[in-house]
Amino acid sequence: MKNKISKGGEIARLIRAFGYSLAGIKSAFQNEAAFRLEVALFILFAPLALWLGSNGVERALLLGSLLLVLVVEVINSSIEAAVDRIGTEHHTLAGRAKDMGSGAVLLALVNAALVWALILLDQFYF
């Protein structure tokens, strides 16, 4: 039989989880230069996304592509931190994990560039 969690306990758990999430974002901002740069670019491009998008779908795609870069960067940073925690000596699998995380960030950046290019080309040239 499962333990029943009271509604008050469930809300407290959600509040704690939210706090842990904010701590993770704060840690990424404090410790990762790439994340800080991407946040700065998000702050710069988010208003442009709202202005340039001609409808809700376009705005969602423009903003979502920017947010995806931040999400993938946080995941990449967590992979790097976990690998570094295990050891600093070179290991093929550790290098592969870090390279794959970096590759994921590159793919997210390419995705953002393609989304922006396709939407802007459609608006201004087609």
- Pairwise CA distance, residues 112 & 66, whole Å: 6
Q: Give yes or no for a contact between 52 and 119, defined as CB atoms under 8 angstroms apart.
A: yes
- Beta-carbon neighbour count of residue 3 at 10 Å? 5
Q: What is the per-residue pLDDT for 17?
A: 96
Q: Which fold has domain 33-125?
A: Helix Hairpins (1.10.287)
Amino acid 124: pLDDT? 86
Alpha helices in 1-126 (DSSP H): 7-31, 33-52, 56-86, 92-125
Q: Which of 32, 38, 58, 73 is catalytic?
A: 73
Q: Flag residues of the chain having pLDDT under 70.
A: 1-7
Model-level pTM?
0.87
Give residue 1's pLDDT.
46
Q: Is 73 a catalytic residue?
A: yes
Confidence at residue 3, expressed as pLDDT on a 0 to 100 scale? 57
Tell me how far CA of residue 75 lies from CA of 79, 80, 87, in angstroms. Answer: 6, 9, 19
The residue ranges of every structural domain in the chain are: 1-31, 33-125
Angle at 68 between CA 94 and CA 24, to 5 degrees: 65
